[in-house]
A and B are shown apart, each in its own frame.
Chain A
Amino acid sequence: MYKLGIDVGGTNTDAVLIDENLRIVAEVKNPTSDDVYEGIIGAVRHVLEQSGIDPAKVGQAMLGTTQCTNAIVERKNLAPIALLRIGAPAAMGIPPMTDWPDDIKNVVVAQAIISGGFEHNGKELAPLDEAAACSFFESIKGKVESVAISCVFSTVRNDHELRIAELCREILGRDVHVSISSEIGSMGLIERENATILNSALCKVARRFTEGFARSLADLGVINADIYLSQNDGTLMTMAHARRYPILTIACGPTNSIRGASYLSKHENAIVIDVGGTTTDIGVIQNGFPRESSMAATIGGIRTNFRMPDVLTIGLGGGSIVRQRSNGTITVGPDSVGYRITEKALIFGGDTITATDIAVRLGMYELGDRSKVAGIDEAFALKAMAVIREQVENALDTMKVSNSDVDVILVGGGSIILPEKLAGARSVTKPDYFGTANAIGSAISKVSGTYEKLIDYDRVPRDEALAQAKAEAIEMAVQAGAIRETVEIIEVEDVPLAYYPGNTNRVKIKAVGDLAS
């Protein structure tokens, strides 16, 4: 049984094959095509040929894709949707999409707020107005194929959302795409509703890429594989789930890259430095998963409730332009020759000094025509390297949480410009296959369950409440396809409710486990 990991990036579509012992059998990079599927087919065909294995022996296929992010950012292929918010008389003070950019507001063609919803303790806020929901659904018949439903405190209780979703299907038919906000999770009605609306609008994009992915695999003889999609938290979801909740694929790229680097280097706790042509991303891996940013993510100008990996990006890459200022100081970046490095850099016969030229001049790496950089003064090259080193070391220090030295993993094509030793690093590892860390991260992904509730510790003691919450999270991971014995708790968060008497806490638990084969 083999696993096939695929990552569709802006420039390249990467594919890797991994055996049941998680050893890498083959890896390829293939240009991403306009329609995406040609790129996937090309990459998968090459990786199968390279490995020589029987396509029927691929048991699992994992895809990481930026399709959803791109669709939102570019406002392309979004489906017209209807929004129903449950929560009146609360939540009327903020109309849906209040701070959305004008050029995307029109995805919602019909909206209503109806009575219903809950208080933070699960008490009913107002009776659910089913009649109002029915007349709303009647009014949008034939106008939309996708509906978003949000509800006040649906993270505490989601029965109103579930009931309205049922009514929606009864009236609009079984084929209507229904997204409920409790499935997307996390406290904060507006951010959760925003993500739910985007999810609904992505239904066409999701159908296209899931069908396209399945079809391209089938065409290549990969007929026995269960298909999964990468989520932004570094775990997987089934194709059926991805079709219902495509928004969860947002930003899986950096996550996969960090997890892939961790896997390749065997470090569970380390800092990952991913050097590209123009920029360098520095992320942190903690217990095998990326550290999340404390800021809510904004996608295409819309604030959502998603937590993205905490990544620091600096303007330094293999193509960064090296300059000397009139006062003698040397700068590296932030501007870069980018993908034109193969014509612009000195070693490739160009006329621009890049960071890569400096690395070659100092004998750190063999690339292009070395004689073309012999003219660079050694003192100049050393100074430039000191600038590169300082930028990376400062960024490294920023991302560390304590004074002690950390293990550092270098990945990405541009990582050749970095020295082998860095201040603040206990070790610096550049693993094999570092170029396809994304696809590897996708292939080795686990499955997860996340539990989030407001719990009053005066009513349920903290230990008991956390134990119960952990059990719920584990159950959710198992339902998502995890092998029970492998499930572990990777995140426990309990934050007391501010300005609120008593001992009510927001509890969030995340459990992950290996995917059953």
Chain B
Amino acid sequence: MGNYLSSTAKQRQGMLSEIGLTSMDELYAGAPAHLLIKDSLELPDGKPEMAVREEMQKRADMNKIFPVIFRGAGAYRHYIPAIVDTVVSKETFLTSYTPYQAEIAQGILQSIFEYQTMICELTGMDVSNASVYDGATAAAEAAAMCRDRKRGKTLVSAAAHPDVIETIRTYCWAMDCEMELVPVKNGKTDLFALNEMLDDKTAGVYLAQPNYFGLIEDAKKAGEIIHQKGAKFIMGVNPLAMAVLKTPGECRADIAVGEGQPLGMHLGFGGPYLGFMATVGDMTRKLPGRIVGETKDAAGNRAYVLTLQAREQHIRREKASSNICSNQALCAMTAAVYMAVMGPEGMQEAAGQSMSKAHYLAARLTEIGYTRIHEGEFFHEFVTSSRVPAGRLMKHLEMNGILGGLPLEDGILWCATEMNRKEDIDRLIELIREVEI
């Protein structure tokens, strides 16, 4: 039971005899016979589609869907317009591959070209690649872009997302390169310490905007400090926040990276998401991954192709700048459809509402003694103290269908988006009040 073969047993027998064999077993005559596992594969029996659906649904039902979420920390529940899933579920987009044959892949190629343009507009940078795996790997790849023979060290703000920090750390370790954390002061990157840490071995500095604690960093000043010491400035940004916040381009960043999930991707227990990467014109040829460019065919028609492939592994092999040979094409398309249907106003509205609701939430939490532990402007996340053990508070909220903020060592990291209605926030406050000190 269960396979997607198209040939019948009779056809198979005919095909076998065409190639001069009598049984399927003979196909593996070239392999050591004692290694063949025959019939002993320990897997369950296959199932027809209806039974598979039931099994997968049963498993899905073991998860708890929270109708109301006040948790972000790198994955955000925003409203996803209906057309987004419709477009990216189209069979051809699902089942095609990397557009090697441009003539029959103009659809995928153009969609990436449009995505690249949107990422440039959003970040204020000159050039974007076709995307990489996620925000964390984009950051790690960006760190590698900055290194040269003289400068091998990467500095990373301790106010970055923990998974981003850990991923950069792993990549740096693998390349035998140094990586150090720039300390946090009052929830923000300590720019004084950064200035002290920068030396002539520092290749690049990664700073998150807004940072992990939701605070808006003085990225422009950080950029000045970094550039003064001859290092490159990598800004990791929330793409939706870029609809309102100063862009990496305006902050003179050399590379902008980030997690594209807020642009129309489901939470999906962590993925697939989207790593975007954009840089300044001078660093174009250091960008890893696929890049789509515009050209013409012999008749003068506009056409798109994968380009600047001389950077890549299939040509450069061990001299390539990265081993990446794919992108998150369907996720890049998701982001592009999201941005296209939201438009500039819709993006600003979603960003603005997220920010406004987070500020309303912060004000209401303050009223009941859950005060912010950091000063400074924030986007749609912030940290408060907790008046009760966070675990107990979360349990109570969970029983009422609410996923509360993320408990951190010294507080709770809250998030609001346009999905959190005022009445949800007011109800949250009432529920928190019910948890006795």
Do the two chains belong together in a single complex? no
